[in-house]
């Protein structure tokens, strides 16, 4: 059997980030988690670093290396999303404080050192939050960029618009300068925008199947999702909330669930009105370089089948 694909998960948990990490932990044959790096986003860094360790402990994966990263965007004040995720970022279940320690050292240095150490083209970056850590790593060590196998991100939106402003999706909006560095870097990007994630609703029948797994991690996840979806149900009038971040990990496990095309993507960093917008040249109306594979469609039933199958393995 082929060896597991090496990944670093850069994240700001977040209930949907937690679901993505759980999907990776439930897939040890395919994915080796070299480390989890945290960033300020949904909640401040101290909480995202706490939450990442809570998820590791919940899944009995306390050997996982968790590094704290940037506590603020490269050039702006931090914007958080407690209105979606609750005060802690993981509101919903009752969770105990983590006992496992954070690793010494900064997430940015861990990313750089890992990419320099591992054979070229073997490490995939999975980004589930603002791109601050990655932008800083690329600035500090541009030599790592060609060493990356692929950067798969949850971020952006185009036909679907934005979710934090009419034009911008949260992860890109929080640190547009970092996103700009990433999209200009030449790294191979796969982008999971709102156009995809809004097709993945936590419908009652799907959450019920998760609850039927019956394990402690599955139960905690169900309670997280029940909290998380209330905001989007009210906002969109939809049948459940969109499950954003697990798309990144699902793509590594079953790319055939997703359909998209290679496009040019540029980030708006100047306009006050549209800052953080991902300008996607879906119709190839410019000659600009196709720097990302932008996804637009997903097999939602296949996605939830995968999620439930893997959650049951934890
Ligand atoms: C993204 O923003 C966060 O609130 C979620 O965790 C996800 O990464 C969706 O816009
Ligand atoms: Ca996130």
Is ligand 1 within 6 A of the CB of residue 245? yes
C-alpha of residue 216 to centroid of ligand 2, in Å: 22
Q: How confident is the model at residue 1 (pLDDT cuts 50, 70, 90)?
A: low
Which CATH number characterizes residue 290's domain? 3.90.245.10
Q: How far apart are CA 25 and CA 285, in angstroms?
A: 41
Comparing CA positions, the residue from 100, 134, 116, 123 lying closest to residue 10 is: 134
Give the confidence band of 233 by pLDDT, cuts at 50, 70, 90: confident
**What is the model's pLDDT at position 172?**
98
Q: Tell me what pLDDT residue 118 has.
A: 98
Distance CA 275, CA 176 (A): 7
- The confidence score (pLDDT) of residue 238 equals 79
Mean pLDDT of 114-135: 98
Structure tokens at 62: 């306390």
* Distant-in-sequence, close-in-space partners of 309: CB < 8 Å, separation ≥ 6: 26
Summarize the confidence of residues 171-193 as an average pLDDT.
98
Q: Point out the ligand 1 atom lying closest to the alpha carbon of residue 14.
A: 6
- Averaged pLDDT, 130-142: 99
* Residue range 66-76, pLDDT digits in tens: 999 999 999 99
244 counts as catalytic: yes
Q: Residue 2 pLDDT more than 90?
A: no
What is the SS3 assignment for 35?
strand
Domain of residue 128 covers 5-311
DSSP-derived secondary structure letter, 29: T
Would the pLDDT of 235 be above 90?
no
pLDDT for residue 170: 98
Name the residue with tokens 């977040």: 14
Which listed ligand is nearest to 16 at the C-alpha?
1
Tell me if 150 CB under 6 Å of ligand 1: no
- Sheet with 31-38, strands from edge to edge, namely 66-68, 31-38, 5-11, 123-127, 148-154, 189-192, 292-298, 258-263
Confidence of residue 230 (pLDDT cuts 50, 70, 90): confident
What average pLDDT does range 90-107 have in this prediction?
A: 97
Q: Which atom of ligand 1 is closest in space to residue 154's alpha carbon?
A: 8
Number of compact structural domains in the chain? 1
């Amino acid at each position: 059997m082929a060896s597991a694909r090496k990944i670093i998960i850069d994240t700001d948990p977040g209930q949907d980030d937690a679901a993505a990490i759980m999907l990776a932990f439930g897939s040890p044959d395919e994915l080796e988690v070299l480390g989890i790096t945290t960033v300020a986003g949904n909640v401040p860094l101290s909480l995202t670093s706490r939450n990442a360790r809570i998820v590791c402990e919940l899944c009995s994966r306390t050997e996982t290396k968790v590094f704290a990263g940037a506590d603020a965007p490269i050039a702006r004040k931090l914007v958080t999303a407690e209105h979606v995720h609750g005060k802690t970022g993981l509101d919903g279940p009752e969770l105990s404080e983590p006992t496992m320690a954070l690793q010494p050292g900064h997430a940015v240095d861990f990313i750089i050192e890992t990419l320099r150490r591992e054979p070229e083209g073997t490490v995939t970056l999975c980004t589930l939050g603002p791109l601050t850590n990655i932008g800083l790593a690329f600035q500090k060590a541009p030599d790592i960029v060609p060493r990356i196998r692929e950067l798969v991100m949850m971020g952006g939106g185009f036909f679907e618009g934005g979710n934090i402003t009419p034009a911008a999706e949260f992860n890109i909006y929080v640190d547009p300068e970092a996103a700009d560095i990433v999209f200009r870097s030449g790294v191979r990007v796969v982008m999971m925008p709102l156009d995809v994630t809004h097709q993945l609703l936590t419908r009652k029948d799907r959450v019920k199947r998760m609850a039927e797994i019956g394990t402690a991690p599955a139960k905690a996840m169900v309670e997280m999702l029940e909290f998380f979806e209330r905001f989007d149900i009210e906002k969109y009038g939809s049948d459940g909330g969109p499950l954003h971040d697990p798309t990144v990990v699902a793509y590594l496990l079953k790319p055939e669930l997703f359909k998209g095309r290679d496009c040019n993507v540029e980030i708006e960093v100047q306009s006050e009105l549209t800052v953080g917008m991902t300008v996607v040249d879906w119709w190839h109306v410019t000659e600009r370089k196709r720097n990302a594979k932008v996804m637009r469609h997903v097999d939602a039933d296949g996605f939830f089948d995968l999620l439930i199958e893997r959650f049951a393995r934890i």
